[in-house]
Structure 1
Amino acid sequence: MNRRYWWIIITFLIIQFSILPGQYILYWFGVEIERIFGMWNVIAFSIGLVIMLLLLRKDMQDRHLVRDRTSRGDALIWSIIGIFMAFAAQYAAAFVQMVILGFEPGSENTEIIVEFAQAFPLFIIVVAIIGPIIEEIVFRLVIFGSLYKRFNFWIAGILSSLIFAAMHGDFQNLLVYTAMGLTFAFLYVKTKRIIVPIIAHVAINLFVALVQVVFADQINDMINEFEEVQQQVLLFIGGLL
C-alpha cells in the first residue's frame, strides 16, 4: 500500500475519533448538546473528504491507464443495477439474520443516526452523500484494492467487508454490512470505477434518510390512515355478515 493510501486511512480514523475533542469545542461555543454530534460530523467529514480527494489527485489523473475499465455508459448501467443489487443483498442478509439466526429486525445504529439527523438536519448530507463517498474510498478503493492485489476476490472482499461492518459498531447486523460490502466490492471489480459503488452506496443511504428522516412523519400519517381505512372496511364487512 502506498503512502497516500496510508494517509487516507489515517484521515478516516481521525474523522472517526475527532468527535471526542470536537464535542467539547462546540459545547464551549454554546452549541446545544443534541446538535453537537451532527454538527461536528458535518465539519469533520467535509474536511476529511477534501483531504482524501487531494490525496487521490494522482489516481484521478492516471485513471485512464486502468486496464479493462468500463465505458461511461456501462458504468451508468452498472450503477443502476448496483442499486438493486445492494438493496437485494441488504434484505437477503436481514432475512437470514431474522429467520435463521433469530435476530430482531432493525438497527440500533440507524436509530441513533436518525435521532442525530432530526436534531441537526444538515447531518443528512453526511449520512447520504459524504459518508458513503468516504467509506467507498477507504474500504473499497484503498483496503479492498490493496488486498485484491494479493488475494482472490472472496478473501479480499470478505476481509474488507468485515472491517467495513465492524467500523459501524452494529455487530448484530454484521451480516448485513458484510453482504453490502461484498456487493460494492463486486461492482468495483466489475467496472474498475470507484464511482459505481459510490452511486449504489449513496442511493441506499439516501433512501434510508428520506424514509426515516425527511418523510418519516408523512409516511407514518399514511400508514395510520391506511390502518383506519382497513378497520372501517373490516367493520363494514363484519356488518354485512
Structure 2
Amino acid sequence: MKKEYWFVIITYIAMQLSSIVGVPIFMLIGSYTGMPADELEVKSAAYWIVFSFLAALFLILFLMRKDMREKLDTRNQTSVSMSILWAIAGVFMALFAQSIAGSIEQMLGVESESENTQQLISLIYKVPMVIFVTSVIGPILEELIFRKIIFGSLHKRFNFFISALISSVIFGLAHGEFEHLLLYTAMGFTFAFLYAKTGRILVSMSAHIAMNTLVIILQVVYREDIEKMLDTAQAFIGGLL
C-alpha cells in the first residue's frame, strides 16, 4: 500500500474519534450563549460532525492529489457515457442489495431501523447542515477509503470476490452496527463492483451519494407523508380483515 494511503486512513480514523475532544470544546464555546444543556450537546455534536468531515475531506484530497487520476485497471475503464449509465444503475443496484440484505436480517430477527441513521436524522432536524455530510461528504470519504484504497489495494493481489468481500466487511464494521453487518456489506459489495466494472471511483462515488441523498430525503423531508400513507394502508387492510 502506498505511503500516502496510510496517512489517509489515519486521518479518517482520527476524524471518527475526534468527537471525544471536539464536542466538549464546542460545548464549552457554546455554553457562553446560555443555551440549554441538552440542546447544546446535540448542536455541538452536529456542528463538530460538519467541521471534522470537512477538515478530513480537504486533508485527504490534498494527500491524494497525485493519485486521483490513476485507474484501477485501464483495460476495464468504461467510457464517460457508460460510466454515467452505470452510476445511475448503481443507485438501484445498491437499493436492491440493501432491500435483500434487510429482508434477510428481518428473518433473522434483527430490527430494521438503523441506530446510526436515526441519530443522524435527529441531528439533521437540529442542524440541517448535517444533511450535506451524510449525503455528500460521507460517501466521498467512504468511497476513497474503502473502495479506492482498501479494495483497490486488495484487488492488486486477489480476485474481485475476495477483495470486495474483505473491503465490504471492513466497511460494515466501520459503521459500528454489527447487527447490520450484512446490510453494509451488501452495499459495499455493490459499490466495489461498480468501481471494478468501470475503473472510475467517481462512478461508485456518484451512486453512493445519490443513494444516501434519496434515503435522507425520504427519511427527513417526506417522513410524515410516508408514515401517513403507511397508517392509511394499515387501517384499510385492517378494515378488510
Q: TM-score, normalised by structure 1?
A: 0.89
- Within the candidate set 137, 146, 149, 2:144 is matched to 137
Moved more, 146-155 or 52-61: 52-61
- Within the candidate set 69, 82, 87, 1:79 is matched to 87
2:61 match? 53
Equivalent residues of 2:78, 2:199 under 8 A apart: yes
Aligned residue type for 1:189 = A
- Within the candidate set 152, 164, 175, 2:159 is matched to 152
2:208 match? 201
1:102 match? 109
SS of equivalent to 2:66: helix
| Gap change, CA 1:34 and 1:71, over 3 Å in 2 | same
- Within the candidate set 91, 110, 121, 2:128 is matched to 121
Distance in 1 between residues matched to 2:140 and 2:88, nearest whole Å: 17
- Within the candidate set 217, 220, 228, 1:213 is matched to 220
- Which structure is larger by alpha-carbon Rg, 1 or 2? 1
Identity, % of aligned pairs? 42
Equivalent residues of 2:191, 2:204 under 8 A apart: yes
Equivalent residues of 2:139, 2:205 under 8 A apart: yes
1:22 match? 22
Runs (4 or more) in structure 1 with deviation over 4 Å come to: 61-65, 221-224
1:182 match? 189
- Within the candidate set 47, 51, 55, 1:43 is matched to 51
Distance in 2 between residues matched to 1:132 and 1:156, nearest whole Å: 20
SS of equivalent to 1:60: coil
Distance in 2 between residues matched to 1:140 and 1:2, nearest whole Å: 15
Aligned residue type for 1:209 = I
Distance in 1 between residues matched to 2:62 and 2:75, nearest whole Å: 23
Distance in 2 between residues matched to 1:132 and 1:77, nearest whole Å: 19
Aligned residue type for 2:50 = V
The Cα shift of 1:35 comes to 0.8
Moved more, 51-60 or 187-196: 51-60
In structure 1, runs of 5+ residues without a counterpart are none
1:173 match? 180
The Cα shift of 1:87 comes to 0.5
